[in-house]
Amino acid sequence: MFRTRFAPSPTGPLHLGHAYSALLAYDMAVAAHGEFLLRIEDIDQSRSRPAWETQIYEDLKWLGLSWPEPVMRQSERLEAYADALDDLWSRGLLYECTCRRADIAAAAAAPQEGAPMFGPDGIVYPGTCRDQAARTGPRPKNAVLRLDMARALADMAGLSFDETGVNPAHVNLSAQEILRSVGDVVLARREMGTSYHLSVVLDDAAQGITHVVRGADLFEATQIHVVLQSLFRLPTPVYHHHRLIRDGNGKRLAKRDDARAIALYRNEGKSVSEIRSLTTG
């Protein structure tokens, strides 16, 4: 079954960019006689608010979307994330990182390192803790855990995914390039017990998503997701990264751009077809 999803974080109002993404995922599912699912990405409990979640449901219903219940909420999936981390830990693929942000920036900028490399998660980790941290015994809890990317990639060949969005292609990934430009990503954050990358991969698989529709800003992160799918022997969905909706100055919309919140258009009496034309114009 062809299945898409919209996966917002309840950390602010949905704006036109979200409307575009949700409508596109919905329209693609309808056209393929498939299913459109909703998932609430609320692992960041310090920023997620029930009121924003309620407003997400209201905005999406107003846009004419519907989805099967119950809605998956990441805050209810912490056990699945912990099990996956236990699995990687027992395979020696994770290590605890005790670096502070400033330590990482300083180490990455050290003269022998050359200019720091920026990947999908910011500065590529220079590896300070990689060889020092113990990897045996119980998995450290409430700790920052990084994936040992070199080890993770050791037995992997032929990593790739199909992209149908802005630049359609069969994208072949190179292990060497992933090591250089992504490195040892964080899979468990302190306080959170998981990370965006880990959760999104496990949840897309658990929901049987065949086509991931999302903004082009997440294209670079997809290589991390493909590595994780390979580690967990999960299928790789087709990815459709769409263009980003920008404001009048060409700046991409952010949650703080309340002026473009769907709720405000709604209160002004705009119609859904007007919203559709605003996002396609």
Interface residues with ligand GLU (CB under 6 A)?
A: 7-9, 41, 200, 214, 218
CA distance 127 to 99: 10
Residue number with CB closer to ligand GLU (181 or 207): 207
Nearest distance in Å: CB 146, ligand GLU = 20
Residue number with CB closer to ligand GLU (72 or 105): 72
Nearest distance in Å: CB 134, ligand GLU = 33
- Residue 280 main-chain phi, psi, to 5 deg: -105, -10
Residue number with CB closer to ligand GLU (82 or 218): 218
Query: Within the chain, how many helices (H) and strands (E) appear?
Result: 10, 12
Nearest distance in Å: CB 98, ligand GLU = 27
Residue number with CB closer to ligand GLU (126 or 193): 193
| Strands of 58-210, DSSP E | 72-73, 94-96, 118-119, 122-123, 145-147, 160-163, 169-172, 186-188
The phi-psi region of residue 195 (left if phi > 0; otherwise alpha if psi is between -120 and 50; otherwise beta) is beta
How far, rounded to the nearest angstrom, does the alpha carbon of residue 17 sit from its chain's CA centroid?
A: 16
Two structure tokens written together for 5: 């999803």
- Residue 70 main-chain phi, psi, to 5 deg: -75, 155
Nearest distance in Å: CB 221, ligand GLU = 8
- Residue 170 main-chain phi, psi, to 5 deg: -90, 110
Residues whose CB is less than 8 angstroms from the CB of residue 8 and which lie 6 or more positions away in sequence, other chains included: 14, 18, 22, 40, 41, 56
Residue number with CB closer to ligand GLU (74 or 89): 74
Residue number with CB closer to ligand GLU (15 or 146): 15
Two structure tokens written together for 279: 């996002």
Residue number with CB closer to ligand GLU (104 or 194): 194
Residue type, 231: L
Nearest distance in Å: CB 95, ligand GLU = 25
Nearest distance in Å: CB 30, ligand GLU = 19
H-state helical runs in 109-153: 149-153
Nearest distance in Å: CB 269, ligand GLU = 27
